[in-house]
Structure 1
């Protein structure tokens, strides 16, 4: 039962609260002592009275901020507002039971309206019989409040007067308009303005309506143009007496083409002359009655004039490569529209010189042409520009060159004097002086380009003959420039003076050069590349080479900026480190990467080379001695060198015994020739004859080489002696087994001169050389070693001494 009662009580309370909220009953009443609209800067009080006894609070702004209020009594509080500067919102609330809505108040702060002034009215004609009077005025200070303006107009037409009112509302309204007939002659206008803080009225302004009449703006039709004239079609809805047309090219001022006192009806064509070819022109127009105001400008309309052949020759210049003097290039500038008079479609170039005449065409985006330089002397280059209407006048340039020390130099006259360059923040000033003894020049040409990029980024400007300085703009900061001042007296008399190392802004280089070394014995050749262009930060004045050998104190070498190689001589053996840095006028930049190299002991290398040379010579001799002919000559030379130990064969025991039995002896010879087969059984018989005794070993009269005695054997029919008892034994050649020619001894007292086994067919002196050749081809010498082994003789034949004639060795040699 109790539980049911509690639930019912809660239900009744919620029901009563919902009823109260649904009624929207406020908990308080709020008001201001100055009302809801106050003047900015004023002071007033905001009051709040509650409907119940409670502790009330007052808030301001959005979101609400608690304010420090004052309690007047148990149900009323107030807040004093000082110097209000903007619109504000105030609210109050309390903890009444049951709860009620808070109350609020919006305060608008502003100013009373100022008196309107500077009233200006225009009568805009819309039709031939009526128009709108549009009046504007200066409203003065902004009131920040909602204003109500009334334009009052009193119109006089003949004897009739009528008052017109035009109401408008808004905080920023400053114009109004009324429609009037063109029969109205005079009008008087004034303006009234009011807002919650006050009301004001302007002074009266009087107008004669025809004086403020303005026709509507003309309408321009299609424009048709030739190269010099454009025809503009103008249309108007009312008749006017004056028309003004203006035109201008792109980015130029307007030029007026006026024709006064004309009766302009609905449509008329107007030719505009004195125009230039191939230009985009803009046109506009306005009109006016005989009196009154000019109309507004029409909408702009544009059109191109047609092309004409280029009016002027191109600005042509040339340059040669400063590195190889083998590349020459002609440059030309793109002409402006006033010169080209159309769109350039191509360029025509002619190069003429000794035994040379070349004509070629290039595209419109090309600005240079490389001229062949395989000829010497003068070179005439002519350049034309072509558009759809024809060619420009020819632009000619002549270069005269002579070859001196493998470089092409210009034939020159007196060059400019005292050429100086002064740098600014973003420009360079070049000044010079005319040579005192030179005639008055035709013109000067100043050229400039980034260092080392003459053919790629050449720029130039032509100057009058009385000029003595020029300012170059568009210079990139931290870039090094160079150039020259040319003086032109005529086509064949040109001279110049160069300038270098000019920069607007500079800093120290950001990196050092990359080093490459090449060691040669006790010297090193150091090469390097230029610092990248973007990291030079100005003009490089010099390079510094640092060489360190471990001592901790490097040696410095300063090298000019134009060099790319440096040789350091007489370095002692050690391990070295080398690096470089670059400098500008601002100072030395960062060092480059270190490179190590070695200088070795020179003596060790020299001994190694000597040993290799000796080894190669010995190897060559060993290989050479494997030849049989070489071994034969070597043996002969050895025998000749041993003359003091060779005995005389005439005094040997064998020679004395042989002299006792003079006559014929048959000798069986065991030939060493490889052509003799082992199947031969018959011995070879030779006839021996004795010759007169000769001197031994006479090198100056030698006729045949000395050979060692061959190994022979005696046949069974012979006596005990192996060789005949004679001092000279000469055998005849046996070409076959059937040969049996013999020769008897002529003199048994002849000294042995040589022993021959084959090849002699007669004893005539004139056949000596043929016998020597056949003897040389025989195979008496062994071929298995460099030096001869001891000879082995068969039978009982012995030689106590042997005497050898060496004269033939020198003749053969």
Structure 2
């Protein structure tokens, strides 16, 4: 029973060994692994074991749909292949009991391509190595890219001798191929052709016949280091053949094209001199040669050399700008081109000339501007110095800025440039200087250009976008400035400002002072034309703030007459394109002025006093006042009807008043008599004695020493006496004093007065002055038939004069 099973096991192991030893499948193509580009063919896959197979392209992740040829073979038709592809298949183990243990896939790389083109454009050069031999180098065009590995073979036949040069393989592409071989100098003619082949076919070029003398070429010349002065360089060759012709080219570092020197050298010991060069320039030189027949040799490697320096032949381009407050003047100059400087500037010499000032200063070559003291009619010169000397002086005078505005200057932005145009002045100009600079940066970034008299327009380039520029056009007649005209602010690009100014305020009383700074340059976005201040009253129509427009050059504005309230304030800036966004808003409060009320009260009181005083000057007002306040006015006796007045008339208008000694404070120790001249204006005295007063003072004859002073000087009695100076006691004066038009001064004799000695006054010829007793409730008296109050006039001028 065990024998049959053992025999089956033996056969099974043998079959498995056979299956494992072989691949699981075999893959092949009907057109091979290399096919014609765009062709169609069929690929097959045969499985060596019993399994379920599949086919894929460029990896298992790209399955294909092959067809079943038989139980062991599948196939796929490929059409129009244009690129390299990899096809494969594998045995899938999906059965529970596989009969084949090997699962390795199989496949084939298919490469499409073209058969080679005919080689063409064969060109050969015979380069002489020595007197016996040389090397023939041939190049040809391989044609289109075959996308395959190509092989080329070149044949060369010299007479009956044929030499073959084989290029076993070349890289793919379309570049030209070359081959070279040695040839004796005795050979005169050669024939060359090329064969190209790959797996898809082979072709040959046509045969090219060369005369060796036509393709002969000398070796590349070797140059010695040139020797140069300021204007020429000498070129020599290290190796040279007497039968050769030499050609030399040169150019500067900045030039792109080479310049060919017209001279040729035919002698081995000769050198080539290159003339008409510029001083202090770096020149590059190269050379090539040829025989009397044949081809030019390749260019030699370039050699470089500097020409020497010369002293500058032209003056610098110099301009200037006044410094702050005209205390200094800043001189600018442009670095000259090499054609002008003729060397490397090592320093600049600045000289100032005037009647009272003269000095020189040397500055570094890196400096392009310098400030000098400002002086009237000073002449400033600037010179450049190199190793060979100084340049001619460039002159600037300080009074050149004093010129009238005669030119009609206009500035217009065009794309990223600005065109400046102007009219010619009446006085013929010989030159113009156009200057420009960013707004506010004249001393830092001043630029200018000089133009001749035929120009009336210039286009400014290399301007910063969104930058505001300003400048001027200066017209010169010889060295004198005849006109200077500024052009308005201009910018290549503009938009509204990015933000508003930051403001600060200072409040004082009912006014506020607003100050602000310029916007940063990057936020202006062009030329600022104006500023707008917005003032908002929170208590009175806050939705409609007041607007104040301020010029672009201002940095301060004062707002007056603000009523007490809470305010908000902000600003905006504008360009020609419109108004920008508002800046930061600030708040402030206007308080009531507490000192204003007392001041108004003082003004009111002064006004009322002045008004009352003016009213009091009116007699009508005073009369009304007396009528209302008559009860407060004391009764005054009528001196004209008193007994004393009647007695006075008997004595001719004069009486002697005698003060009795009763009070040591009023009189001296010795008895003295005080005489007072009393003038009676009327010779007739009416008899009238008021009932409410004491009797008239008795005459001096009735006075006794025992009479009391109180009787004589009763307080309620007021005596009006006109005082005369002794030097005026004349009849003429008396008559004049009786005139009714005469203003008469009266004094009031009230009670006990401090009287001086009358005898002393008589000796000194001085009048006696008495202080009047004034009553503001009494009107001035006028003289009438009786000596009444209405007849008495009080003139205070004497009182104030003698007080």
What TM-score results when the alignment is normalised by the length of structure 2? 0.70
2:306 is matched with which residue? 304
Equivalent position to 1:588, from 579, 590, 595: 579
Q: Give CA deviations for 1:744-773 in whole Å, capped at 9, x if unaligned.
A: xxxxxxx9999xxxxxxxxxxxxxxxxxxx
Report the CA distance shift for 1:429/1:651 in structure 2 as closer, same or farther (over 3 A).
same
Report the CA distance shift for 1:583/1:17 in structure 2 as closer, same or farther (over 3 A).
farther
2:437 is matched with which residue? 449
Instruction: Tell me, yes or no, if the aligned pair for 2:501 and 2:573 is still in contact at 8 Å.
Output: yes
2:278 is matched with which residue? 276
CA distance in 1, matches of 2:237, 2:266: 13
1:420 is matched with which residue? 410
Q: Secondary structure at the match of 1:140?
A: coil
CA distance in 2, matches of 1:398, 1:425: 37
Equivalent position to 1:438, from 427, 430, 438: 427
Instruction: Tell me, yes or no, if the aligned pair for 1:17 and 1:98 is still in contact at 8 Å.
Output: no
Q: Give CA deviations for 1:110-152 in whole Å, capped at 9, x if unaligned.
A: 0011111111111122333222211111211110111111111
Q: Secondary structure at the match of 2:335?
A: coil
Are 1:207 and 2:210 an aligned pair? yes
CA distance in 2, matches of 1:330, 1:241: 59
- Unaligned runs of 5+ residues in structure 2 are 1-5, 94-98, 603-657, 676-752, 757-799
Q: Give CA deviations for 1:83-112 in whole Å, capped at 9, x if unaligned.
A: 111122222222451325332222121001
Instruction: Tell me, yes or no, if the aligned pair for 1:328 and 1:370 is still in contact at 8 Å.
Output: yes
CA distance in 2, matches of 1:541, 1:196: 82
1:805 is matched with which residue? none
CA distance in 1, matches of 2:591, 2:601: 17
Are 1:469 and 2:457 an aligned pair? yes
CA distance in 2, matches of 1:347, 1:92: 87
1:107 is matched with which residue? 110
Matches within 5 A, 1:474-623: 474-550=462-538, 551-552=541-542, 553-604=544-595, 607=598
Matches within 5 A, 1:731-750: none
Instruction: Tell me, yes or no, if the aligned pair for 2:265 and 2:272 is still in contact at 8 Å.
Output: no
Matches within 5 A, 1:221-236: 221-236=224-239
CA distance in 1, matches of 2:103, 2:560: 108
Report the CA distance shift for 1:410/1:74 in structure 2 as closer, same or farther (over 3 A).
same
2:342 is matched with which residue? 341
Report the CA distance shift for 1:425/1:655 in structure 2 as closer, same or farther (over 3 A).
closer
Instruction: Tell me, yes or no, if the aligned pair for 1:399 and 1:492 is still in contact at 8 Å.
Output: no
Equivalent position to 1:244, from 240, 243, 247: 247
Instruction: Tell me, yes or no, if the aligned pair for 1:248 and 1:283 is still in contact at 8 Å.
Output: yes
1:392 is matched with which residue? 391
Higher relative contact order at CA 8 Å, sep ≥6: structure 1 or structure 2?
A: 1
1:167 is matched with which residue? 167
The Cα shift of 1:176 comes to 1.5
The Cα shift of 1:456 comes to 1.1
Equivalent position to 2:53, from 42, 53, 56: 56
Report the CA distance shift for 1:237/1:358 in structure 2 as closer, same or farther (over 3 A).
closer
Instruction: Tell me, yes or no, if the aligned pair for 1:241 and 1:288 is still in contact at 8 Å.
Output: yes
Across the aligned residues of Structure 1 and Structure 2, the Cα RMSD in angstroms comes to 3.3
Q: Give CA deviations for 1:12-57 in whole Å, capped at 9, x if unaligned.
A: 9999999779x76212222111122101111100011222232111
Report the CA distance shift for 1:691/1:324 in structure 2 as closer, same or farther (over 3 A).
farther
Q: Give CA deviations for 1:762-787 in whole Å, capped at 9, x if unaligned.
A: xxxxxxxxxxxxxxxxxxxxxxxxxx
1:410 is matched with which residue? 402
The Cα shift of 1:275 comes to 1.5
CA distance in 2, matches of 1:278, 1:694: 130
CA distance in 2, matches of 1:753, 1:110: 158
Matches within 5 A, 1:747-762: none
Are 1:188 and 2:191 an aligned pair? yes
Instruction: Tell me, yes or no, if the aligned pair for 2:50 and 2:100 is still in contact at 8 Å.
Output: no
Report the CA distance shift for 1:753/1:60 in structure 2 as closer, same or farther (over 3 A).
same
Q: Give CA deviations for 1:574-616 in whole Å, capped at 9, x if unaligned.
A: 12111110001111112111222222223535639999xxxxx
Q: Give CA deviations for 1:625-665 in whole Å, capped at 9, x if unaligned.
A: xxxxxxxxxxxxxxxxxxxxxxx998556789x99xxxxxx
What TM-score results when the alignment is normalised by the length of structure 1? 0.70
The Cα shift of 1:240 comes to 4.5
Q: Secondary structure at the match of 1:496?
A: strand
Report the CA distance shift for 1:343/1:68 in structure 2 as closer, same or farther (over 3 A).
same
Report the CA distance shift for 1:399/1:655 in structure 2 as closer, same or farther (over 3 A).
closer
The Cα shift of 1:483 comes to 0.7
Q: Secondary structure at the match of 1:339?
A: helix
CA distance in 2, matches of 1:17, 1:271: 95
1:119 is matched with which residue? 122
The Cα shift of 1:508 comes to 1.1
Instruction: Tell me, yes or no, if the aligned pair for 2:533 and 2:549 is still in contact at 8 Å.
Output: yes
CA distance in 1, matches of 2:415, 2:328: 34
